[in-house]
């Protein structure tokens, strides 16, 4: 998603001083983009809403430290991605990501509906794969940045991306073959 949100400096200054109206204005400006980053990385809308809430709590607590180096959206997105990745790690404690991917694929792990579009196919990837694809291909993060945020290696990020694209390609090919 391309975000071109310009926030007036005066609004940021008021938010830094703790003005709740200004903070709400920031929330309203970035609510949808933050929710969408979280939603694409995570499986459930509820998790994405929780990340939205956690992100803005962090924004409110930390905005005094925001030095206007780069776009405000970049700073907020970094917080949102970090919160979403923390949630993915928490979810992985409950079950392995691999099992999630298989479960999402249906019984037997390979039951793909006859028709599936890219959005549905993307939703069938594991949370880790979704996070890597979304951050790299849509948000423009480098593998180095993803590796740092995930606490993994660059080669992990690269292999997750390749694996995810191979899986997307396979699912979409199945769709083409079924038509």
Partner 1 sequence: MMHCTMDDLLALRGGEASGWARSHAEACPTCRAELDALYQRVAQLRALPARRPARDRWPAVREAVVAERRRRRWRG
Residue 74 as a binder of partner 1 (CB under 8 A): the answer is: no
The span from the CA of 140 to the CA of 74, in Å, is 11
The span from the CA of 132 to the CA of 57, in Å, is 25
Among 16, 145, 168, 174, binds partner 1 (CB under 8 A): 168
* DSSP 8-state class, residue 17: T
Binding mask 36-55 for partner 1 (x = CB under 8 A): x--xx----x--xx--xx--
- Binning the chain into helix, strand and coil, the percentages to the nearest 5 are 75, 0, 25
The span from the CA of 14 to the CA of 24, in Å, is 11
Task: Locate 89 and state its tokens.
Answer: 């790690």
**Minimum CB distance to partner 1, residue 107 (Å):** 26
* CB nearer to partner 1: pick between 28 and 94: 28
Tell me the number of residues near partner 1 by CB under 8 A: 41
The span from the CA of 154 to the CA of 165, in Å, is 17
**Minimum CB distance to partner 1, residue 67 (Å):** 21
Write out the residues near partner 1 by the rule CB under 8 A. 1-2, 18, 20, 23-24, 27-28, 31-33, 35-36, 39-40, 45, 48-49, 52-53, 56-57, 60-61, 118-119, 122, 133-134, 137-138, 158-159, 161-163, 165-166, 168-169, 172
């Amino acid at each position: 998603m391309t975000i071109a949100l310009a926030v007036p400096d005066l609004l940021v200054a008021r938010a830094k001083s703790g003005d709740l109206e200004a903070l709400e204005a920031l929330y309203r400006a970035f609510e949808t983009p933050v929710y969408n980053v979280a939603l694409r990385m995570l499986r459930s809308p509820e998790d994405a809403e929780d990340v939205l809430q956690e992100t803005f709590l962090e924004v409110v607590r930390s905005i005094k430290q925001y030095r206007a180096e780069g776009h405000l959206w970049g700073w907020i997105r970094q917080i949102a991605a970090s919160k979403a990745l923390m949630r993915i790690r928490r979810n992985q404690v409950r079950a392995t990501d691999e099992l999630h991917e298989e479960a999402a694929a249906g019984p037997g792990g390979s039951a793909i509906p006859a028709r599936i579009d890219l959005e549905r196919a993307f939703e069938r990837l594991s949370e880790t794969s979704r996070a890597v694809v979304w951050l790299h291909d849509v948000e423009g993060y480098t593998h180095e940045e993803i590796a740092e945020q995930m606490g993994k290696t660059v080669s992990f990020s690269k292999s997750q991306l390749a694996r995810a694209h191979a899986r997307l390609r396979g699912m979409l090919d199945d769709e083409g073959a079924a038509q």
